[in-house]
Each structure stands twice: as structure tokens, then as C-alpha cells.
Amino acid sequence: MAKAVIFDLDGTLIDSAPEIQDAVNRVWTSRGFEPFDLPTLISFVGNGLPTLVRLAMEARDIQGEAYRSLHDEVLDIYNAADGSLTKPYEGVSETLEDLSLQGFRLGICTNKPEGAARHVLRLLGWDDVFEVVIGGDTLAWRKPDRRPLDAVCEALGASSVLYVGDSEVDAETAVAANVKFALFTEGYRKSPLSQIPHDYRFSNYDAFSKILMDVF
């Protein structure tokens, strides 16, 4: 049985909020609604695109019947994004390379739509790095339900697992799945560290190898 490291995507491996902000603001301003600043947009991220769209609608008092077209337009822009507004956090590429060299099985468990996640992984040249990618729309459940994380663990054939994420949702998922959790503190969390359950935390990927040595 394999050792596996499973990552969340937005706010954990990549700083993608400016890309998401651009997609939402393009759709919102095309309909005459005020755009969102980055902190406000970040406050909508974490529970997947349907929730993000609903929160952005509520913030501009947009009625429910517009939901489907707004959602689909944002998704189309996401899926066609050129990645220029998305940046891997410092040290991520080196960490992934290291993990691969050491023989870890790698997976992604994100609430980003799977197509958009695969698109950005391709743009970053990471499409061969992760053996399994489960997005917010891959299964009938999304994080914090444990089943997406369970599904990644199972597909990787992992006996020993670390989940790495940046948010309350990731922490809750790891607790539910009974998986060890490392919190990247520089992503899109909304609460103080003391309120997010975690086994490990780090603010820089330089510190990641120390966590690995402890877990495995």
C-alpha cells in the first residue's frame, strides 16, 4: 500500500483568486453589476463554484432565476482562462518534484469544478504530476463531505495519507475522513488558526519536508 499526499488546489498550491475575480467581475460588469474587490471575492471561495455564484449574487441583490446563466458564463471563462492571473505559491513546484522523486502518490481533492482544475493543472505543466483529480462537481458530494477525499485515497490505493489544504472546509473534510491534515496558512482561510483543526501547519513550502518526515 502506498504513501500519498493529497492537495487542495485554490489557496493551497496556487494563488488563483485573481483569476476567479476576473471571471466573476467580467460576468457581473457585463450585466451592469458592480465588480468585487479581491478580499470580498476571496470571502466567497471555498465551497465550490455554485456557492461562490450564489454568494456573489446575494452581495449584489440579484434574484435566483439568473443563477444558471451566471454560473455557466463564469465557468466558461474559467475553462478558457490563460492562467496569467494564477501563480503557484513559492516552493510548490520544487515540493511536487521532490514528492514525485520520493515515490509518493499524489492527488488533488478540490471544490473547483474538475474541468477548470484540470485546465489550470495543464497550464502549469502539472497534468502528469497528479494521478487522481476530484473536483467539486466530480461526485454528487463536495467537501466538507468526506466522500471526495475518501475517493482520492481509494483511487491512489493509499494506506498512509496526508491532506494539505488552506481552509476551514479542508480541515473539516480531513477530520471527517480521519486523515492527517496540514494547513497552509497563507491561502484563503477566514478564521484564526486556533479555530481550524490541524495536525500541522506551515506558511512556506520550505517547511514542508519537515512535516513529511514526521507523518511518514
Q: Which residues bind Mg ion (CB under 5 A)?
A: 8, 10-11, 166-167
Residue closer to ligand PGA, measured from CB, 8 or 22: 8
> Measured from the CB of residue 69, what is the shortest distance to ligand PGA in angstroms?
19
- H/E segment holding residue 13: none
Q: Which residues bind ligand PGA (CB under 6 A)?
A: 8-11, 45-49, 52, 110-112, 136, 167
Residue closer to ligand PGA, measured from CB, 190 or 210: 190
**Cis, bond preceding 148 (omega within 30 deg of 0):** no
Residue closer to Mg ion, measured from CB, 10 or 137: 10
> Measured from the CB of residue 169, what is the shortest distance to Mg ion in angstroms?
7
Taking CB within 5 to 8 Å according to partner kind, which of ligand PGA, Mg ion, none is near residue 146? none
- Kindly give, in sequence order, each residue whose CB lies less than 8 Å from that of residue 82, ignoring residues fewer than 6 positions away: 123
* Torsional sign, CA 26, 89, 92, 185: negative
> Measured from the CB of residue 96, what is the shortest distance to ligand PGA in angstroms?
15
DSSP, collapsed to helix, strand or coil, labels residue 142 as coil
- 150: annotated active-site residue: no
> DSSP states of 70-82 as a string?
HHHHHHHHHHH--
Residue closer to ligand PGA, measured from CB, 40 or 102: 40
Which residue bears the cell 473536483?
A: 135
- Helices and strands, counts by H and E, the chain: 9, 8
- Among the listed residues 8, 10, 150, 170, the single catalytic one is 8
Catalytic residues: 8
